[in-house]
Amino acid sequence: MSDTSYAYAQVRETISQQIAEQKLTGNLPSERELCATYDVARSTLRQALGQLEHMGLIYRKNRSGWYVCPRKLKYDPMQHTSFLQYTTAQGFQPSTKLVEQKKQKPCKEIANALELDGRTSLTSILRVRSVDGRTVVVEELNFSNKHLPNIDKHDLSLSISVLLKNTYHHHNVLYDIAVESCCLFNPIAQYLNTYDGALGLKVTRIVRDLEGTAFEFDREYWRHDALMIENKAKLHF
């Protein structure tokens, strides 16, 4: 049991317990109602709600209200099962929407990672992915035109891994993944139906061929409360 010596901690523990016992489902009462119930100021209540949000127990829809979080999606960035595959396997209804596709020059970070100079062109797509009608991740995928000739001529709203396999014959690739917590700002926060400054998880991925030449650089911005990273491996001491 956590510390309950402060008002916000008591409110937090009470609500947290009600959620655990499933006495609280769907959407919560309004902040002003909760203030009255627990006899605290709105700022104190919002401190409690903020912590419950960080615990992944509740989330907010912009100016609409607070809701109890659905269960988390389990995701292994090292596996190459598709989004469709691993979400449906866990009983979710997935959907993906391609938001934008453009050809552009790489930023410093990408140029560095893909060992490109600033003039080489890059094909970038932005897509949002949802489960059960709730957007959980915004993905920015960047492909090096130099290493994947004419990639911008293909339909990138279809499966990218199939494209890499069939058209570019990348059957074996190396993954470089980084996961860190981050802050979500507009416009990404808006895609995720959350607020400017919300908490998120950032997954960065560099994809290389077996010679070590990098041809893809991805950034995934996840709702922090929608995701649990999972990973299995065999180790030799």
Which of 125, 164, 192, 214 binds a copy of itself (CB under 8 A)? It is 164
One-letter identity of residue 139: E
Buried b (16+ CB within 10 A) or exposed e, 55-66: ebbbbbeeeeeb
One-letter identity of residue 65: G
Q: Which does 7 bind (CB under 5 to 8 A by kind): a copy of itself, DNA, none?
A: DNA
Q: Which does 180 bind (CB under 5 to 8 A by kind): a copy of itself, DNA, none?
A: a copy of itself
Q: How many residues bind DNA (CB under 7 A)?
A: 27
Name which of 6 and 175 has its Cβ closer to DNA.
6
Instruction: Report how far residue 87's alpha carbon sits from residue 81's, in angstroms, rounded to the nearest whole number.
Output: 10
Output the furthest CA–CA distance in the chain (Å, rounded): 64
Under 8 Å between Cβ of 230 and 177: no
Which of 18, 44, 82, 120 binds DNA (CB under 7 A)? It is 44
Instruction: Report how far residue 14's alpha carbon sits from residue 17's, in angstroms, rounded to the nearest whole number.
Output: 5
Name which of 22 and 43 has its Cβ closer to DNA.
43
Q: Say whether residue 181 binds DNA (CB under 7 A).
A: no
Least Å distance, CB 177 to DNA, is 31
Instruction: Report how far residue 82's alpha carbon sits from residue 78's, in angstroms, rounded to the nearest whole number.
Output: 11
Least Å distance, CB 188 to a copy of itself, is 10
In the complex, which residues of this chain contact DNA (CB under 7 A)? 6-9, 28, 30-33, 39-44, 46-47, 60-66, 195-197
